[in-house]
Structures are given as structure tokens and as C-alpha cells.
Amino acid sequence: MLEAGSHPSIKFTPAVDAIDTEIVDVGRRGKYLLVELDDARELVVHLGMTGVLRFRDGPHDDTDPYLRAWWTLDAGSPGIAETLEFADVRRFGRLRVVPKGDYRDIPTLANAGPEPWDPALTTTRFWEAIKASNRPIKTQLLSQRPIAGVGNIYADEALWIAEINPMARRLGKDRAERLLAALREVLEQGIELGGTTLRDYRNAEGGTGGNQHRLLAYGRAGQPCGRCNRELDSRVIDARTTTWCRTCQAR
């Protein structure tokens, strides 16, 4: 059975709504973690930019200034840690408890597009989703509507691989096909390497990822492009820093 505590913030106080429930299953949709509870509800966790879930063999660490919420698990059960903690340096993460599958109050989740490896996500479907908006392609990717689960890092990487300008507002079907393949490629690499740790990201065991050593565009502004050797540029697009090559990713 779960018992809980939280930082006094509307983003994290829903942790206590899971008190006296049991975890039935854990899944994912896009960038959200879905923890199924035994009372037909779900604990929905969004890690934001710096959030991390971690297990602790003991009570929650009340000396950690970045600890936002915690759950006490079944004490004494073999192989089960005593505490599950949610730490978040920048407080961009969020917790919610909702009826299972009811995401009306979480619009980004409710409107998320297909998963990257969903067989239903064909080139045609991806292209048609892109055509439905006139926003820059980088903004569309981060909206989660054409495809779920793509963040700032992987959007920059995929656009560089596909040689598509992040400010482009129209893509032909051929370029959409290249972009979809590039998105799958960078996401597969990120999973294989355990994520991208630039500063704060840690997995549940406290380890770091390895994908940061394989980045081709993100965070490399001012460094040479790996294709043409031109210096990579950077600008802010809809409040997100974006890195690209003016030669390889010309409009």
C-alpha cells in the first residue's frame, strides 16, 4: 500500500491522492509515466526537464532541497525498496491522479499523437499531421501532436539527420518520410544508451545516460557541423533553444 508526502505545491500535492492504493502496473505514453493503481485510477508523472524517480532503502531524504514528493512502499516486502522519491531541481515536473485513461485535464497527454513505433504511424499519417499546422516543424514536434515522446534534444538531432530546417513550415512527403525515420533513429539510440545526461538527468538507480556523447546538433552551437564543417547556429524558436546548420538544413 502506498503512503505519501509532498512539497507544498499544486504540482506535487497530488502525490497524496495515491495513499492506501496498490501499484498494479507501470506504463508510458509519450513523455508521461502512467502508474496504474488498484482502484481504477492512475498516478500520472511528468518528469519535466530535471525530474527523476528514484528508489531509496529507508525513509525519504528530508535533507534533499529538491525532493518534491515521496511514497512509502510496503515495508519489509522482499526485494522492494522502502521509499519511492520524486526529485526535481527546476520544478517543471508534475503529478496527477486521474481515473484510468481519463486525461481531459492533461491536454498534452490527451492530444498526443501516435507512439514512434506504433504500426499505425505511417509516413502518410505523419505527413498529414504535419500539414494540418502552419507552425514551424520544430514547434510541431515539441507539441507531441504529430508523434508522441519527442523532446528538444531529439527534435534537434532528428532535424539535423534529416537535413530539415527547424523553422520550415511545409514539408513534402519525401522529407516527412526522412524526418520520421530520423526521429525513430535518434529515439532508439537514446534508449539504447540510457538517455541523455547533460546536467541533472538520472535513472531510477541514480546512474547517468550515455547519449550525450553522441549528439550531432543539440548543444553544439559554434562547433563545426559533422557533415559540411560549417559552424552550427543557434536561436530560440517558441521559447526553446534550437541548434542547426545553415548549409545542411537550408530552407
d(CA 101, CA 153): 28
What does the pLDDT read at residue 79? Answer: 65
User: Does residue 187 sit in the same domain as residue 213?
Assistant: yes
Inside any domain, residue 115: no
User: Does residue 106 sit in the same domain as residue 54?
Assistant: yes
Identify whether the C-beta of residue 52 lies closer than 8 Å to the C-beta of residue 114: no
User: Does residue 137 sit in the same domain as residue 203?
Assistant: yes
Pairing of strands 233-237, 67-72: unpaired
End-of-domain residue from the set 110, 139, 160: 110
pTM greater than 0.75 (yes/no): yes
Query: How many domains in the chain?
Result: 2
What's the CATH number where 198 sits? Answer: 1.10.8.50
End-of-domain residue from the set 58, 88, 110: 110
Inside any domain, residue 239: yes
User: Does residue 106 sit in the same domain as residue 218?
Assistant: no
Q: Provide the 3-class DSSP secondary structure of residue 122.
A: coil
| 209: containing domain | 123-244
User: Does residue 225 sit in the same domain as residue 204?
Assistant: yes
User: Does residue 138 sit in the same domain as residue 215?
Assistant: yes
The per-residue pLDDT for range 96-109, each reduced to its tens digit, is 999 999 999 999 99
What does the pLDDT read at residue 204? Answer: 66
User: Does residue 200 sit in the same domain as residue 136?
Assistant: yes
Q: What is the DSSP string of 18-71?
A: GTT--EEEEEEETTEEEEEETTSEEEEEE-TTTEEEEEESSS--TT-TTEEEEE
SS3 sequence, 181-229? HHHHHHHHHHHHCCCCCCCCCCCCCCCCCCHHHHCCCCCCCCCECCCCC
> In the predicted model, what is the mean pLDDT of residues 66-82?
80
The per-residue pLDDT for range 9-53, each reduced to its tens digit, is 888 999 999 999 999 999 999 999 999 999 999 999 999 988 999
For 30, left (φ over 0), alpha (ψ -120 to 50), or beta? left
User: Does residue 135 sit in the same domain as residue 175?
Assistant: yes
CA distances (Å), 55 to each of 60, 96, 168, 227, in order?
9, 20, 43, 42
Compute the mean pLDDT over every residue in the chain, rounded to the nearest whole number: 92
C-alpha cell, 186:
535518434
> In the predicted model, what is the mean pLDDT of residues 189-210?
79
Inside any domain, residue 176: yes
User: Does residue 93 sit in the same domain as residue 132?
Assistant: no
d(CA 176, CA 126): 7
Cell 520524486, residue located? 86
User: Does residue 50 sit in the same domain as residue 132?
Assistant: no
Inside any domain, residue 42: yes
Inside any domain, residue 116: no
The per-residue pLDDT for range 139-162, each reduced to its tens digit, is 999 999 999 999 999 999 999 999
End-of-domain residue from the set 61, 85, 110: 110
d(CA 30, CA 140): 14
User: Does residue 46 sit in the same domain as residue 86?
Assistant: yes
CB-CB neighbours of 241 under 10 Å:
13
| Burial class of residue 170, CB neighbours in 10 A (0-12, 13-18, 19+) | exposed
What does the pLDDT read at residue 5? Answer: 73
d(CA 60, CA 71): 8
Cell 488498484, residue located? 38
User: Does residue 137 sit in the same domain as residue 222?
Assistant: yes
d(CA 59, CA 136): 47
What's the CATH number where 33 sits? Answer: 3.20.190.10
